[in-house]
Structure 1
Amino acid sequence: DVIMPQMGESVAEGTIVRWLKAVGDSVDRDEPIFEITTDKVDAEIPAPEAGVLLEIKVGEGETVEVGSVVAIIGSADEKPSGGGAKKPAADAPKKEEPAAPAAAAPAADAGDRDRADMSAADLRRTRSTPVVRKIAEEHGIDDLSAIDGSGLDGRVTKKDILAYIESGAHEAAPAKPEAPKAAAPAKAAAPSAGRVELGIPKIPVNVRPADTVEKMTGIRKATSDNMILSKHYSAHVHTCFEIDYTRIDRLRRKFKGQYAERGGKLTFTTFLAKATIDALKAFPIVNAAHDGDNVVFRGNINLGIAVALDRGLLVPVIGDADDLSMLGLSKRIADLSERARAKKLMPQELDGLTFSITNPGVFGSQWGTPVIPQPTTAILGVGTIEKRVKVATLPDGTDTMVIRTCGYVTLGFDHRTIDGAVADAFVGHLKQTLEGFDESAM
């Protein structure tokens, strides 16, 4: 059996984006056979063994729980099923429904049957995914035991609850929609207690005949939720400095060949990462986290480098970046960026962020005002790097015009934790390190 893999501790389900193989195709062990998306990462999933793809149980666009069987691989002499995802989905309830009477049949009396029913209800209520519970809350459904679950052990799946909502069965309880309003202040007061629902209503959109509706990817939806959350909690302030990269540019040209020979890729981002790490060591408050009541000073620096993709933004994390040399940083940045674009990242490579760098400058932006990833307290935005005309003072005191390689950097910081003077001192330290970069660090 090919199952939906566990793509991180908090990931409970995944969506099949595309099948890379068809029923009847031969597959090799570790050969990618389908592509999934979750709220953490997009990934190509390899075959657990060599053989022939006999059956596809879950179609493209369908979401299933972690551990669900999505396909079957067997030997070449076995006959392919040819069945698609719809047939197994329709068969699932039929397999589940007889299970309850079968378990209840040997019961001694009605009391035992009631206890068996209660156990099944508890399973459906408690063993549901975060996505299902979120949908239930949005629609005022606070008792999932009323829904027949088709998932493992009677779990209520996303498909189950959407079908239940479409049936209109939940509309008989008019008082339930008010519950989220009463609960909202309590939830807003505890940003550290997992995912926080802000109770923001959806904006109705009138879809016209010429329009096209496209479902948001897991990554895009997670980004959307996190950005709204951050704007709600953090007191965003930004400070912008101009950096003279002329010395950095010369060092990059001088050493990039040597780095390439040793498996590295020396870019401006490598220098920025190194200088950022030095500044974070000097100003540990910028590397801290804020939970609403406490400031948590991190014991290490886990540096995130944002990667823009067609399907959304990913921020791979370089763990213990403060332990790496320039060569080590150049290798890790290149490796994570390449694997992010190839959908080869693992969920743990997106966790543990303490500070991040985003680079709108690759698209020509002079500077930006990036949003702080929660629960970190700051983020660095890097503008485009270009040649500019500057005024320089000669030794005799006269001024002249010179060509310099320059660009802006912007620090977005949470004013609840970081004062403006500290933020400016942090970027000033970064600027000084970059403009006078020590060649011995290469």
Structure 2
Amino acid sequence: MNRSTKAGTEILLPQLAESLVSATIGKWLKQPGDKIEEYEPICELITDKVNAELPSTVEGTLVEIIAQEGETVPVGAVVCIVAETGSAAAERATEPSRADGADSSQAGGTGVGRAPASVAQPAADADAPMRHRYSPAVQQLAAQHGVDLTRIAGTGLGGRITRKDVLHAIEHGVPAAPAASQAVPVPAPSAPAVPTVPADLSKVPVPVRSTGLHLSESPPIPNVEVEGQRRDDRNEYIIDVTPIRNTIATRMRQSVAEIPHAWTMIEVDVTNLVLLRNKVKDEFKKQEGVNLTYLAFVLKAVVNAIKDYPIMNSVWAVDKIIVKRDINIALAVGTEDSVITPVIKKADQKNIAGLAKEIDELSRKARAGKLMLDDVQGGTITVNNTGSFGSILSYPIINYPQAANLTFESIVKRPVVIQDMIAVRSMANMCLSLDHRILDGVICGRFLQRVKENLEGYTLDTKLY
């Protein structure tokens, strides 16, 4: 969206999704004086659903930034002004940068009259209050490549250094830091001892797990960012609430406040499922190029159970209950600092192999921050693989406004009594949170029993396609 004025073309915040009414400016990718190609991303947007990039609708020069980083603006509001190529406004916008263009080129600058952000001199702490607050991901990357973080100017909120800044510094040959300077900044010696996050997380020993048999890799370590200074001489640190975390908090509070939660749990014998997956996973990986996880089998079992009990696939609408025809499974995917729920659309029309490929694609996009708004919309029921981090019992909060949230817990070998004999079986719990306005214990109990039957019905002859 754009609107022409004497100063240039106003770039407006578009209607990125039907339910979207506002977005927060995460980071500006361009600065005043920069040349911009049509459709080139100019800033990052943080929405209630997912992060996205705002492309320029015109070609020209960025004249003025209206919406600052961290500011929430409504749909249709002006975020910046761009002087289109060939216009009088564009000529005026480029005049100041021409005077120092030679200097910037000699210094290796890539922008109009600007040096690369990654090698610029650090901003004053007063202007960059988050300048010296490094995430573990940034610390790890800097330590691996010997980059001195004190020599990098951050482009994140409050001057914070992001992974992109470090990668940019590595790419442009920033001199390696001395051995002593590679250490992660710690409080002054006089401060009380405080647990710190290791700079190189890859060197942290990972104990061998005896549970969570369906895990193919260790869960990601949360990205916790802390201040480096003590507060009021007390042994505590401050963690900023990011826009994404604030959105999660708002939605969780809304869900708990408006939905009368209830829950029920069932245990499932997945011994045959474990044998089936072990039999076909290597060939599937070789043929399809993705991992065949237990979650694909779980989703298939859940989808088939919803076909028998469609009320599970519904939402509350005050004076009516809306039952959705399409079964769109929302997957709870944990990233370093948040939980995102990308959606497998029309999951009832996919086989096990198709579900496995969808799970792999959406999980990769979620952890890489590449999800589009369409990827996280339209979910009708949520399934959460809480067993991926060893959980054996969870009470999930319902993903508003859905009617249910189902967790699949860790697969654990346990002694089980079968026909008065004790046998070692692979067992897993499944916990269902339900909206008690829509669902009752009887229907949910029958639904879980059907999911159990479907999971225990897998055999070595089960087809993936």
> TM-score, with normalisation over the residues of structure 1?
0.62
Residues 1:60 and 2:73 aligned together: no
Residues 1:219 and 2:257 aligned together: no
- Superposed CA deviations along residues 29-75 of structure 1, whole A, max 9, x for unmatched, are 66554322122221234455677666544432223333423363766
Residues 1:440 and 2:452 aligned together: no
Deviates more, 1:3-12 or 1:428-437: 3-12
Query: Which position in structure 1 is the counterpart of 2:44?
Result: 35
Deviates more, 1:363-372 or 1:345-354: 345-354
- Superposed CA deviations along residues 343-399 of structure 1, whole A, max 9, x for unmatched, are 22222332222111122222222111111223322110122223x132354xxx773
Query: Which position in structure 2 is the counterpart of 1:375?
Result: 401
Query: Which position in structure 2 is the counterpart of 1:270?
Result: 296
Find the aligned partners of 1:26 and 1:249 in 2 and give their Cα distance: 56
Query: Which position in structure 2 is the counterpart of 1:14?
Result: 23
Query: Which residue identity does 1:410 align to in structure 2?
Result: C
Query: Which position in structure 2 is the counterpart of 1:297?
Result: 323
Find the aligned partners of 2:464 and 2:39 in 1 and give their Cα distance: 40
Residues 1:414 and 2:440 aligned together: no
Among 273, 290, 314, the residue aligned to 1:288: 314
How far does residue 331 in structure 1 lie from its aligned partner after superposition? 2.0
In 1, are the aligned partners of 2:65 and 2:79 still within 8 Å (CA)? no
In 1, are the aligned partners of 2:38 and 2:59 still within 8 Å (CA)? yes
Equivalent residue runs for 1:91-102 within 5 Å: none
In 2, are the aligned partners of 1:370 and 1:412 still within 8 Å (CA)? yes
In 1, are the aligned partners of 2:52 and 2:373 still within 8 Å (CA)? no
Query: Which position in structure 1 is the counterpart of 2:82?
Result: 72
Query: Which position in structure 1 is the counterpart of 2:258?
Result: 233
Find the aligned partners of 1:274 and 1:73 in 2 and give their Cα distance: 53
Query: Which position in structure 2 is the counterpart of 1:104?
Result: none
How far does residue 228 in structure 1 lie from its aligned partner after superposition? 2.3
Query: Which residue identity does 2:276 align to in structure 1?
Result: L
Alignment CA distance shift 1:254-1:34 (3 Å): farther
Query: Which position in structure 2 is the counterpart of 1:255?
Result: 280
Find the aligned partners of 2:47 and 2:354 in 1 and give their Cα distance: 30
Alignment CA distance shift 1:6-1:293 (3 Å): closer
Equivalent residue runs for 1:24-423 within 5 Å: 32-46=41-55, 56-67=65-76, 68-70=78-80, 72=82, 78-79=94-95, 80=97, 216-260=241-285, 261-262=287-288, 264-386=290-412, 388-391=413-416, 393=418, 399-402=421-424, 404-423=425-444
In 1, are the aligned partners of 2:29 and 2:44 still within 8 Å (CA)? yes
Find the aligned partners of 1:275 and 1:398 in 2 and give their Cα distance: 28
In 2, are the aligned partners of 1:56 and 1:72 still within 8 Å (CA)? no
How far does residue 419 in structure 1 lie from its aligned partner after superposition? 2.1
How far does residue 23 in structure 1 lie from its aligned partner after superposition? 5.2
SS of the equivalent of 2:330 reads: strand
Find the aligned partners of 1:8 and 1:216 in 2 and give their Cα distance: 24
How far does residue 258 in structure 1 lie from its aligned partner after superposition? 4.3
Query: Which residue identity does 2:257 align to in structure 1?
Result: H
Query: Which position in structure 2 is the counterpart of 1:119?
Result: none
Which sections of structure 2, spanning at least 5 residues, go unmatched? Answer: 1-8, 98-111, 115-230
How far does residue 430 in structure 1 lie from its aligned partner after superposition? 0.7
How far does residue 28 in structure 1 lie from its aligned partner after superposition? 6.3
Find the aligned partners of 1:23 and 1:265 in 2 and give their Cα distance: 45
Find the aligned partners of 2:344 and 2:23 in 1 and give their Cα distance: 25
How far does residue 306 in structure 1 lie from its aligned partner after superposition? 0.9
SS of the equivalent of 1:440 reads: coil
- Superposed CA deviations along residues 187-231 of structure 1, whole A, max 9, x for unmatched, are xxxxxxxxxxxxxxxxxxxx9676666553343333323322222
SS of the equivalent of 2:355 reads: helix
Find the aligned partners of 2:326 and 2:344 in 1 and give their Cα distance: 11
Find the aligned partners of 1:33 and 1:409 in 2 and give their Cα distance: 44
Find the aligned partners of 1:235 and 1:305 in 2 and give their Cα distance: 22
Find the aligned partners of 1:71 and 1:253 in 2 and give their Cα distance: 57
Query: Which residue identity does 1:44 align to in structure 2?
Result: E
Find the aligned partners of 2:280 and 2:84 in 1 and give their Cα distance: 52
How far does residue 337 in structure 1 lie from its aligned partner after superposition? 1.9
How far does residue 279 in structure 1 lie from its aligned partner after superposition? 0.8
Find the aligned partners of 2:366 and 2:306 in 1 and give their Cα distance: 25
Find the aligned partners of 1:286 and 1:243 in 2 and give their Cα distance: 20
SS of the equivalent of 2:463 reads: helix
Find the aligned partners of 1:349 and 1:216 in 2 and give their Cα distance: 25
How far does residue 283 in structure 1 lie from its aligned partner after superposition? 1.0
- Superposed CA deviations along residues 108-140 of structure 1, whole A, max 9, x for unmatched, are xxxxxxxxxxxxxxxxxxxxxxxxxxxxxxxxx
Find the aligned partners of 2:271 and 2:371 in 1 and give their Cα distance: 34
Alignment CA distance shift 1:15-1:251 (3 Å): same
**Number of residue pairs matched by the alignment:** 314
Alignment CA distance shift 1:217-1:266 (3 Å): same
RMSD: 3.2
- Superposed CA deviations along residues 97-117 of structure 1, whole A, max 9, x for unmatched, are xxxxxxxxxxxxxxxxxxxxx
Find the aligned partners of 2:52 and 2:233 in 1 and give their Cα distance: 34
Alignment CA distance shift 1:264-1:5 (3 Å): farther
In 2, are the aligned partners of 1:306 and 1:316 still within 8 Å (CA)? yes
SS of the equivalent of 1:280 reads: helix
Deviates more, 1:64-73 or 1:282-291: 64-73
Q: Higher helix proportion, which one? A: 1
Find the aligned partners of 1:253 and 1:230 in 2 and give their Cα distance: 39
Deviates more, 1:271-280 or 1:212-221: 212-221
Find the aligned partners of 1:65 and 1:295 in 2 and give their Cα distance: 31
